[in-house]
């Protein structure tokens, strides 16, 4: 979800450019009936770098074991996937329930990020925090590159882990494959996203408590392009989820990988015929309170996939201060054992939408039901 408020990046020109970036999670998406390739995914040591833990490609769900009959590889202290279940390093089923922490996608230093703020999030009983990232700030050569950004991100990662929360690094803003462009939310990842994930995976491959969400909200693409890459239809070449996933594994990282579908990561209906080949994969959905994304649509659009694969709802909400949609989502997830993280720990008001009213952590109406749900687990 792209915020409606932008903090200063530095020069006023950058701020103006970012303010013009397009919004995200509810606009229409191109539908298609193309076909594509399909897929596969106690613990062993590490991957072999080929991005594949098993024989696959026949449209079956993520595989439960490697070719040798063993569970898939595991990043140290992390998680692995067997069937539709995520397991921890002790072999116990695990459900993530947490909070999304934006601002590092539009401000290289983040807004009001501190160890105290992280501990306040953890006090809600969150076991995971999702951190939105800007590949331009991370990559040398970008017009917005910040030499201190990687350390700032890592500082937040370490604070989160110390507070008892695992971490999702979410590639939120990208640059259409052009380092001279101001990053923003795009239709899909680009070639510079490959460089980004190679670097991030190398940095955190020995820390299984850090997970990778490959691209925030893909949209207005054919499923074939979503999987394999190609013409984005928006003036740049998109890189598909398979290449992003392979980049992570080729770096030697066995960390859990989270992959959002189409229609701003809401729609997973095309996944059965367009699976990402690999292991330790969970698919993400972003339900927001718009037409066509109501509870009556969830089973057909994305919930059905929980029968074969882990589902992680990494964003959800409504824009009118009414918490009922979010309550239905939390109930739906709890009944089905789905992981979730709520957007967003940022006092941006109803149209952000925000979980808190201020940096003291006063919950909004939706924030209160999220806080209650976290406290119950």
Q: Is residue 113 part of a domain?
A: yes
Does 222 map to a domain?
yes
The Cα–Cα gap between 38 and 169 comes to: 25
| Domain assignment of residue 131, yes or no | yes
Q: Does 22 fall in a domain? A: no
Q: Bridge-partner residues for 81, per DSSP? A: 86
Q: Is residue 15 part of a domain?
A: no
Hey, what's the torsion of the CAs at 165, 168, 172, 174, to 10 degrees?
Answer: 130
The answer to the question of residue 353 being in a domain is yes
**Is 10 part of any domain?**
no
> What is the residue range of 364's domain?
34-375
CATH of the domain at 262: 3.20.20.80
Q: What's the structural domain count of the chain?
A: 1
CA distance 195 to 243: 11
Q: Kindly provide the residue ranges of all beta strands, DSSP E only, lying in 119-183, ordered along the sequence.
A: 128-134, 166-173
* Within-domain flag for 13: no
Residues with Cβ within 8 Å of 16's Cβ and at least 6 positions away in sequence, in order, are none
Instruction: List the pLDDT tens digit at each of the 377 positions of the chain.
Output: 544 333 334 433 343 344 333 344 433 233 444 433 333 333 333 343 344 443 333 344 544 445 556 889 999 999 999 999 999 999 999 999 999 999 999 999 999 999 999 999 999 999 999 999 999 999 999 999 999 999 999 999 999 999 999 999 999 999 999 999 999 999 999 999 999 999 999 999 999 999 999 999 999 999 999 999 999 999 999 999 999 999 999 999 999 999 999 999 999 999 999 999 999 999 999 999 999 999 999 999 999 999 999 999 999 999 999 999 999 999 999 999 999 999 999 999 999 999 999 999 999 999 999 999 999 99
Backbone angles phi, psi at 252, to 5 degrees: 85, 15
Cα separation, 67 vs 54, in Å, equals 5
């Amino acid at each position: 979800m792209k915020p409606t408020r932008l903090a200063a990046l530095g020069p006023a020109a950058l701020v103006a450019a970012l303010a013009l970036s397009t919004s995200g999670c509810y606009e229409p998406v191109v539908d298609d009936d193309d076909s594509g390739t399909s897929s596969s995914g106690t613990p062993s040591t590490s991957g072999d770098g080929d991005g594949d833990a098993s024989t696959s490609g026949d449209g079956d769900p993520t595989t439960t074991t490697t070719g040798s009959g063993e569970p898939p590889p595991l990043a140290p202290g992390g998680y692995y996937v067997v069937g539709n279940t995520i397991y921890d390093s002790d072999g116990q089923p695990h459900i993530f329930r947490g909070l999304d922490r934006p601002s590092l996608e539009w401000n290289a230093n983040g807004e009001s990020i501190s160890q105290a703020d992280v501990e306040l999030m953890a006090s809600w009983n969150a076991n995971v925090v999702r951190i939105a990232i800007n590949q331009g700030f991370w990559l040398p050569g970008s017009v917005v590159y910040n030499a201190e950004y990687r350390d700032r991100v890592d500082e937040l990662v370490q604070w989160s882990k110390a507070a008892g929360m695992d971490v999702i690094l979410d590639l939120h803003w990208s640059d259409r494959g052009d380092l001279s462009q101001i990053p923003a939310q795009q239709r899909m990842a680009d070639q510079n996203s490959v460089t980004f994930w190679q670097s991030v995976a190398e940095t955190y491959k020995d820390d299984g408590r850090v997970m990778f969400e490959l691209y925030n909200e893909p949209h207005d693409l054919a499923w074939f392009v979503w999987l394999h890459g190609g013409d984005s239809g928006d003036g740049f070449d998109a890189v598909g989820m398979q290449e992003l996933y392979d980049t992570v594994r080729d770096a030697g990282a066995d960390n859990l990988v989270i992959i959002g579908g189409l229609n701003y990561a809401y729609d997973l209906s095309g996944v059965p015929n367009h699976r990402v080949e690999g292991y330790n994969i969970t698919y993400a959905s972003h339900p927001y309170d718009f037409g066509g994304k109501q509870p009556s649509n969830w089973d057909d659009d994305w919930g059905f996939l929980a029968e074969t694969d882990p589902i992680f709802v990494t964003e959800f909400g409504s824009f009118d201060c009414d918490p009922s949609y979010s309550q239905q989502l939390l109930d739906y997830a709890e009944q089905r054992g789905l992981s979730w993280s709520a957007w967003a720990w940022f006092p941006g008001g109803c149209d952000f939408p925000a979980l808190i009213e201020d940096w003291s952590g006063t919950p909004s109406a939706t924030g209160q039901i999220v806080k209650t749900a976290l406290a119950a687990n």
